[in-house]
Structure 1
């Protein structure tokens, strides 16, 4: 069977396992979280070979290049062959931003809590 010249972006990002479900991939496209060569992609927009796809996923922004076009979900090993991952590695643990965490139901932060949160965030 011949490989297609272009595939819908929502189907492709789902097939190469960037999103867990096809509906999640479609919703991400509609929300503007998927870009093809720097341009916002609608769910029905076509992905072609060599196109750079940026997708905002739960794990952060993924930057991939389409090496093979598929429209059905396949095994993880085959899906890995269909893309070239150009996502930069995450920053070292020391450079990550600390976020103040409050317990659920702790109520509104006091003035002291607010100052501590601001100090942690570098304000």
Structure 2
């Protein structure tokens, strides 16, 4: 039986809107992407209580949330924000001098021809 004021971690993550479904929350926990007070949560059935600090590793960000209360239901986002205090570090400042992505470079004559090169070849061969 679960102690009063405690809740399964997968259920809490679902209620707090960290993930879209409870099964995704369970997969997140089993994959080792959730820590409770700096210790990896081993199972989706592990419990959390008010005062616990969760470190959640998602695709491109790390969330650090302090649990304020167990959830009752998956309600609107405003209700979900009352379940935790966001202690996540501020995202790193983006340096505007660095490009986001490097443009692909292709050596002339290697690989498939571009559309422009194909048209030039067709004109050369007389196929118009």
Q: TM-score, normalised to structure 2's length?
A: 0.70
Bigger relative contact order, structure 1 or 2 (CA pairs below 8 A, ≥6 apart) = 1
Q: Which residues of structure 1 form unaligned runs of 5+?
A: 108-123
Give unpaired runs (5+ residues) of structure 2: 106-110, 113-128
Task: Indicate the structure (1 or 2) with the bigger Cα radius of gyration.
Answer: 2
Q: What is the deviation of 1:99?
A: 5.7
SS in structure 1 of the partner of residue 95 of structure 2: helix
TM-score by length of 1: 0.73
- Count of aligned pairs between the two proteins: 102
Please list every run of at least 4 consecutive aligned residues from structure 1 whose deviation after the TM superposition is greater than 3 angstroms.
95-103
In the alignment, the residues of structure 2 paired with residue 67 and residue 56 of structure 1 have an alpha-carbon distance, to the nearest angstrom, of 20
Residues in 2 aligned to 1:101 and 1:83: alpha-carbon distance in whole angstroms: 41
Question: In structure 2, how many angstroms separate the alpha carbons of the residues matched to 1:18 and 1:5?
Answer: 20
Tell me how far apart the structure 1 counterparts of residues 7 and 89 of structure 2 sit (CA, whole Å).
26
Q: CA RMSD in A?
A: 2.6
Q: Distance in 2 between matches of 1:32 and 1:53?
A: 12
Equivalent in the alignment of 1:116 = none
Alpha-carbon separation, structure 1, partners of 2:72 and 2:40? 20
